[in-house]
Structure 1
């Protein structure tokens, strides 16, 4: 069987152990992930959940990369190859569970894609939203606000890279870190959510009300 094509182990290092404990508590079936990269988290969701029940997974990504992936960035990457690996990996994972994993790929900027889902009637539709797209604070805040509208009451948002910060030669920039945006979102919505106990490389919140 053709193997998965992953070039890193970020998901396994930062999220897998927590998700092994968290997801069975909520049993999500309708999921959005913002930022799919090579598909490690998508494949985990398919492999972990689709064997138990049919799932609907929406993957949102431009496959252009963030500032850090562009020429001159700290992590220059061939994003065309990354997208090819994503499509291979997700097709392979879904193929192991025929008819039980509906994968919807939204290739575009997350603000456009999430707003379109809202206008298509999916407000409060999703059980789990994974935010792992841009590391720029304004983008993360936008993803959080729109993702929260798409999330049902009782659902969970997982924010990746809570403690990540780009460290360019010019020095750290708070607008190029997810944490300030995540903190702002949580503080502004503290009556509508609760923060779940988990290691802080990722931050998890459960929606209590709209």
Structure 2
């Protein structure tokens, strides 16, 4: 049987996801994940990890939603998002080719609000077992992504948000409307009777859906 693609085969220009992989492995061991969704794929590092990890158990349907237009932080630095997208697609191809069981990757190249609304219309409520949100850092966008992601997640499923404590500038200069935390605090407070926020420290926020 084929093995997971070696990490050295992938073309990643950062190590953002590596620090979370041990925790993700433990959480995923406790949950059945057959349908997964990520909002914000960038170079595909988290998507490849999901493929490598979950297809050792069985088949996987993975939806990757990204516009590859970049956020304000990418635009300001002149990041070549076309190159980022090409790396993502190549990395995903490697992961799929080495998967132990069948994997279907569906790429949605569009803004997250349109993509999530389209998935909600096409797949219906509670379709996904696992949703990872790592898209825009702007508070209004994050809140929209969170609410739609919640609707798409099944009861008992895992919802993970990246960059909970991210800020574009030094803390003294931070514009709260351009950070995820304000939106995620509002979301978890409003949905507090429908979510169990997991007691995990770090820059990601983890929650399990308790009810619709």
What is the 5 A alignment of 1:95-106?
95-97=97-99, 100-106=102-108
TM-score (norm 1): 0.94
Alpha-carbon RMSD across the aligned residues, in angstroms, is 1.6
TM-score (norm 2): 0.93
Between the aligned partners of 1:98 and 1:76, the Cα distance in structure 2 is 38
Partners of 2:37 and 2:64 within 8 A in 1: yes
Shift of residue 76 of structure 1?
3.4
The match for 1:77 among 69, 76, 79 is: 79
Q: Which residue of 1 aligns with 2:21?
A: 16
Deviations 1:142-190 (A, max 9, x none): 000000000000001000001111117x931001110110000000000
Shift of residue 98 of structure 1?
6.5
Deviations 1:71-96 (A, max 9, x none): xx2x4311010000000000000001
Q: List runs of 5+ in structure 1 lacking aligned partners.
A: none
- Count of residue correspondences: 205
Partners of 1:118 and 1:150 within 8 A in 2: yes
Which segment drifts farther, 192-201 or 86-95? 192-201
2:144 aligned with 1:139? no
Q: Which residue of 1 aligns with 2:69?
A: 64
Between the aligned partners of 1:23 and 1:38, the Cα distance in structure 2 is 21
Shift >4 Å, 4+ stretches: none
What is the 5 A alignment of 1:52-201?
52-70=57-75, 73=76, 75-97=77-99, 100-167=102-169, 171-201=173-203
Partners of 2:142 and 2:184 within 8 A in 1: yes
Q: List runs of 5+ in structure 2 lacking aligned partners.
A: none
